[in-house]
Structure 1
């Protein structure tokens, strides 16, 4: 438990009455001033922008088409409104009217950087009731400059200290506290000059984003071409349908199950598309049986001194192994489990449980000391095949939809197991063809990576422009 000492005088000097330790430490130590090193005078955010009255539209059909600002589909810490809205004619919940807003701030998870500016004067705007609309107090304020100033990491860290709420996804910053924060008073001519440069960089970033495709979409497209499969028909499997099946057919199946996805005809359509090619079960391509990982107790972790990592389901992020984000285990635990549950280069780790994680895979690309968890499975492809081909195949919907079909359980507690996975059908191609498919996928993914790196570079350039202005 963290304890922080404050005074009633400090608490009483604020417009919002907050007693929690993290908040008091942030506010009492920093005095609402995230930027310390600057030669400029400070003013409050409230001196720049004014909060507008809240007006709402009710859920249901809208009288006219509106532009919806959707936080969940928006890139955090960017806030370019023109890239964040979509036209809608109905809404599933009450929305805030944002028509007059020039600056829009999400009080929910504000520390992630959901601050938007309406440089393009977009109209008919609506958004979540978590969004607060603001307007400039005076004309000589450059919206682009102010947006990026308020999105500096210094401010995001400060918003985190001001948040209140029980769960990470529901933490909010009170607008009263936000408006009391101090910002460097940058002259308008400098704001305007830097704002112009940033808008040029943002236009270049928009062009770069056109080159960035979802990695699994790239994999699907290349496999679709190689295997002459209409992937749109494959993806249509995800659409809801109804069907009838007789009990005799269910009785004759390998696994006596009544679940919709396991028995649905549309999954047979997927299997028939795969079966147009030479197909073998996964067990024909592996060196040794598919293994479940090792369980662990809290006393087995050693994040301070441990060298070996523990690969849990949370270690699989963006279809790769997040080594830095994985916990460390003690030397004793590693030595005890390394014979049965260690990994080596070329292994594929598959999450076997939980909605949102089930079926996600990571390829082990280096020889590292690690133990994989009991809610993951290790697939060790034989030396006569390219493990990267299988990794990319596992990432594709040819594999992921079969996971959807085969998984068992209710709600978030779904699972699939080695005895199911070993029967998954794999399109069999020669080693040369495997290598060629891998080469095509990685060439496209490298282009995406280059575009992503260029985006990071331009974001850093924007950050540097703002920081130079407030020195």
Structure 2
């Protein structure tokens, strides 16, 4: 078989697990790095460091509310920080009752343990929150190790090697709590931890300032398309399909205005901007501007030695595709799923989940790839610029249509192919937005995004500099 390789392990080297991933020679680097430690190391699960570790859960029939206790999932835990912008909320009696064991308090360390493994952050808020089953909650509760130091360590190269080795590879990778306890941690004295963090934090502050500038540029680029189309909106960019949260409103419509949907979001008065779009421009339904039917990706069977990239929701960044961290499948699997194959110029849309649904990016490579089952693929007619349609779908004009057409509740939300077909876009015509005008708008937005990319590269360089300083402080 192409790209296969073989290795051997003696029984005394196998550590109680027989799976290929755990015993893979690429993790031999762990022992090499530990032997070059400047300080002693120990198990994370030692009571000197860890007083308790639990994972959250999602009770059957749980309902998300407009206000309440934040309920974190793995998508909210990033490397070193928590993004609670779009977090769903639960009732306080659920938090204090069935989920009492997974309460999260200031100073707890949170680790993603399902899906994307090993992203780690400290919870800094004084307000309690809770988490689902994809998050482990570590209570250090001692003076032996600083929570921020532990987070930097677990997010470092060595920490990520441990997560890679200990995880169980499947369609939903996971790691259990007992395995987290087995991670070896390098532990200088507390005063030295503080000194290391002080130096590292100085560089991280520079990276955060660059990211703040990135966000300002992103907001400008998001509003540019509306300005070019003279369809400005006063609405704040907060949508139920992204956050799982809504604001109480009261409105009515007559029975003869009802269609086949009974969801109030389908008739929300914010959609008057779509009427303005249709009044100002000749429009067409999205399904009619595709050269092929809109189609869904495929559940991949990953291969350690695969050569074909799989694009998943986590790889869509709503401004670029993260190719670096794509998992792979074999050429045989790629050939077996022609409906999921991606071509250069295809538009990829995340079709599930609060905070993920509605992310849109263009596949811009010649290399073969497939879309995962959580994405849908749009392949446009030549009269439409894929970047213009992508920018349109990212804008308020696209967001209100995702808001209107999504289905589901309680965190399990979807946008189906037949509903994407109904999205309204400007027609490529003299009464709509012809190709020449599409390209002009794309050019202006792209210039903004190029500045965004430049800032992102600078911030990533600073983050890498901070990581290198931290690791160099521990390893000779």
Tell me whether the two structures share a fold, i.e. TM-score over 0.5: yes
Decide whether aligned partners of structure 1 residues 433 and 413 sit closer, same or farther in structure 2, where only a CA change above 3 A counts: closer
Deviation (angstroms), 1:279: 2.6
Equivalent-residue separation in structure 2 for 1:216 and 1:380 (angstroms): 28
- Candidates 38, 41, 52, aligned match of 1:40: 38
Equivalent-residue separation in structure 1 for 2:84 and 2:239 (angstroms): 30
- Candidates 277, 282, 292, aligned match of 1:279: 282
Equivalent-residue separation in structure 2 for 1:75 and 1:107 (angstroms): 7
Equivalent-residue separation in structure 2 for 1:359 and 1:80 (angstroms): 21
Deviates more, 1:163-172 or 1:397-406: 163-172
Aligned to 1:208: 210
CA contact (8 A) 2:266 2:405 kept: no
Map 1:48-447 onto structure 2 (within 5 A). 49-52=48-51, 70=72, 72=74, 74-79=76-81, 90=92, 92-93=94-95, 94-95=99-100, 96=102, 104-106=109-111, 108-109=113-114, 111-116=117-122, 123=126, 127-128=130-131, 130-138=136-144, 144-163=148-167, 168=172, 171-174=175-178, 178-179=180-181, 181-184=183-186, 186=188, 190-213=192-215, 218-226=220-228, 227-232=230-235, 239=246, 243-246=252-255, 257-258=260-261, 260=263, 264=267, 266=269, 269-281=272-284, 290-292=291-293, 317-319=316-318, 320=320, 325=326, 327=329, 329=331, 343=343, 347-351=345-349, 361-365=360-364, 376-382=377-383, 386-402=385-401, 405=404, 415-417=416-418, 420=421, 424-426=425-427, 428-429=432-433, 433-447=437-451
Equivalent-residue separation in structure 1 for 2:87 and 2:406 (angstroms): 36
Partner SS for 2:459: helix
Deviation (angstroms), 1:414: 5.4
Decide whether aligned partners of structure 1 residues 352 and 156 sit closer, same or farther in structure 2, where only a CA change above 3 A counts: closer
Equivalent-residue separation in structure 2 for 1:124 and 1:295 (angstroms): 40
CA contact (8 A) 2:288 2:421 kept: no
Partner SS for 1:155: helix
Alpha-carbon displacement from aligned partner over 1:37-75 (angstroms, at most 9, x marks no partner): 4153533146794334689xxx99xxxxx9979465645
Decide whether aligned partners of structure 1 residues 449 and 285 sit closer, same or farther in structure 2, where only a CA change above 3 A counts: same
Alpha-carbon displacement from aligned partner over 1:308-359 (angstroms, at most 9, x marks no partner): x69887697234566674756569969xx89xx9856xx4435597667876
1:451 aligns with 2:455: yes
Alpha-carbon displacement from aligned partner over 1:373-397 (angstroms, at most 9, x marks no partner): 9963310232xx6543233113324
Equivalent-residue separation in structure 1 for 2:212 and 2:379 (angstroms): 36
The answer to which structure has the higher strand fraction is 1
Greater Rg by CA: 1
Partner SS for 1:281: strand
Equivalent-residue separation in structure 2 for 1:419 and 1:51 (angstroms): 48
CA contact (8 A) 1:212 1:452 kept: yes
Stretches of structure 1 that go unaligned for 5 or more consecutive residues are 12-17, 61-65, 251-255
Aligned to 1:468: 472
| More RCO (CA 8 Å, sep 6+) | 2
CA contact (8 A) 2:69 2:128 kept: yes
Decide whether aligned partners of structure 1 residues 322 and 436 sit closer, same or farther in structure 2, where only a CA change above 3 A counts: same
Equivalent-residue separation in structure 1 for 2:120 and 2:416 (angstroms): 35
Decide whether aligned partners of structure 1 residues 284 and 196 sit closer, same or farther in structure 2, where only a CA change above 3 A counts: closer
Question: What's the Cα RMSD here?
Answer: 5.9
Deviation (angstroms), 1:188: 6.0
Deviation (angstroms), 1:269: 2.0
Decide whether aligned partners of structure 1 residues 221 and 43 sit closer, same or farther in structure 2, where only a CA change above 3 A counts: same
Counting matched residue pairs gives 429
Equivalent-residue separation in structure 1 for 2:83 and 2:362 (angstroms): 37
Decide whether aligned partners of structure 1 residues 378 and 111 sit closer, same or farther in structure 2, where only a CA change above 3 A counts: closer
Partner SS for 2:232: coil
Decide whether aligned partners of structure 1 residues 20 and 203 sit closer, same or farther in structure 2, where only a CA change above 3 A counts: same
TM-score of the superposition, structure 2-length normalised?
A: 0.64
CA contact (8 A) 1:208 1:451 kept: yes
CA contact (8 A) 1:211 1:451 kept: yes
Stretches of structure 2 that go unaligned for 5 or more consecutive residues are 1-6, 63-67
Decide whether aligned partners of structure 1 residues 412 and 68 sit closer, same or farther in structure 2, where only a CA change above 3 A counts: closer
Equivalent-residue separation in structure 2 for 1:144 and 1:108 (angstroms): 19
Alpha-carbon displacement from aligned partner over 1:287-324 (angstroms, at most 9, x marks no partner): xx6213799999xx999798xx6988769723456667
CA contact (8 A) 2:287 2:420 kept: no
Equivalent-residue separation in structure 2 for 1:377 and 1:136 (angstroms): 53
Aligned to 1:63: none
Decide whether aligned partners of structure 1 residues 192 and 265 sit closer, same or farther in structure 2, where only a CA change above 3 A counts: closer
Equivalent-residue separation in structure 2 for 1:125 and 1:332 (angstroms): 45
